[in-house]
């Protein structure tokens, strides 16, 4: 199983040098994938969780492609209805080509109602627009012979049954975000059942879990996977591996904006995970 890292690309303290350090740390520790998030208009509902500055993902990943060599680059998750599908298809194809085929396109339907309003996109149609746009993107890639886009994997985010169905119908992988260990085990079974109902192959499992190391073990039954001592974190990763996941993405942002400016603690935890993964 490969391991990726979701790098914060937002909030005061994030600047080009910090992004460079994150990218080179992730690649230097031997991780397989570096991902960033997506927002365009930092409306109040977005800013409450992810304050400005917010670095646009395609621009950011294009720059990070130039300061890395091996690590794959992705979005977790790109909000599909925010951009015209032909624009997204073109930017993704260009980035994939410029990075040497390293792009992973994690996508979702979005949640920030005020941001939808600011962009003039109907919030209530976000699911239908996502389906329509994903089909249009794949059509554009098939009809374009000047870019090798067959290798761009699409990971469908969303923890609901609707998200699972979208992953089965339109994605290469299902990409659930932040969950308890028990929930993911049960959801993996639901994903297989949904694929059977639709008569389609089961998409790959590519979850994104929290990453927050504590000194003392967390015994709360609602503990998120990846929150706890390093032994709990490693056990969670091992459990996800046993579920058949091909990649797990570690998300070190847990709402504490001070950690954006001081990422060393997260880097220490990542180093411990990397050391275990290599052993």
Per-residue pLDDT 10s for the chain (279 aa) are 999 999 999 999 999 999 999 999 999 999 999 999 999 999 999 999 999 999 999 999 999 999 999 999 999 999 999 999 999 999 999 999 999 999 999 999 999 999 999 999 999 999 999 999 999 999 999 987 655 566 899 999 999 999 999 999 999 999 999 999 999 999 999 999 999 999 999 999 999 999 999 999 999 999 999 999 999 999 999 999 999 999 999 999 999 999 999 999 999 999 999 999 887
User: Phi and psi (nearest 5°) for 83?
Assistant: -130, 145
The structure's pTM equals 0.96
- Token pair 């990763």 is found at 237
> In angstroms, rounded to a whole number, what is the distance separating the alpha carbons of residues 160 and 245?
18
First to last CA, the chain: 13
Count Cβ atoms within 10 A of the Cβ of residue 75 and give its class: 0-12 exposed, 13-18 middle, 19 or more buried.
buried
Strand partners, 105: 75, 154
- For 235, the token pair is 């056990």
- For 196, the token pair is 């059977």
> In angstroms, rounded to a whole number, what is the distance separating the alpha carbons of residues 65 and 126?
30
What CATH topology corresponds to 2-278?
Answer: TIM Barrel (3.20.20)
> In angstroms, rounded to a whole number, what is the distance separating the alpha carbons of residues 79 and 111?
9
The residues, ordered by sequence, that sit 6+ positions from 77 with a Cβ below 8 Å of its Cβ are 37, 38, 106, 107, 108, 155, 157, 175, 177
Distances (CA, A) of 167 to 104, 111, 155, 223: 15, 18, 7, 26
> In angstroms, rounded to a whole number, what is the distance separating the alpha carbons of residues 214 and 197?
41
């Amino acid at each position: 199983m490969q391991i990726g890292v979701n790098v914060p690309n937002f909030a005061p303290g994030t600047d080009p040098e910090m992004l460079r350090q994150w990218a080179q740390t992730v690649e230097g520790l031997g991780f397989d994938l570096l991902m960033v998030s997506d927002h365009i208009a930092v409306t109040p509902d977005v800013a409450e969780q992810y304050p400005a500055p917010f670095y646009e993902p395609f621009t950011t990943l294009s720059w990070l492609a130039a300061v890395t060599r091996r690590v794959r680059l992705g979005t977790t998750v790109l909000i599909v209805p925010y951009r015209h599908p032909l624009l997204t298809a073109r930017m993704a194809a260009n980035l994939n080509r410029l990075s040497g085929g390293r792009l992973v396109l994690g996508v979702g339907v979005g949640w920030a109602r005020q941001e939808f309003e600011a962009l003039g996109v109907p919030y209530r149609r976000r699911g239908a627009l996502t389906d329509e746009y994903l089909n249009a993107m794949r059509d554009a890639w098939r009809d374009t012979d000047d870019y090798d886009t067959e290798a761009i994997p699409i990971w469908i985010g969303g923890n609901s049954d609707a998200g699972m169905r979208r992953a089965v119908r339109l994605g290469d992988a299902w990409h659930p975000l932040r969950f308890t260990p028990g929930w993911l085990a049960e959801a993996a079974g639901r994903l297989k059942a949904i694929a059977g109902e639709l008569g389609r192959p089961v998409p790959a499992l590519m979850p994104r879990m929290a990453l927050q190391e504590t000194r003392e073990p967390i015994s709360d039954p609602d503990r998120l996977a990846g929150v706890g001592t390093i032994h709990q974190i490693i056990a969670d990763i091992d459990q996800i591996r046993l579920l058949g996941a091909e990649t797990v993405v570690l998300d070190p942002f847990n709402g504490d904006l001070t950690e954006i400016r001081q990422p060393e603690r997260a880097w220490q935890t990542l180093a411990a995970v990397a050391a275990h993964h290599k052993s």
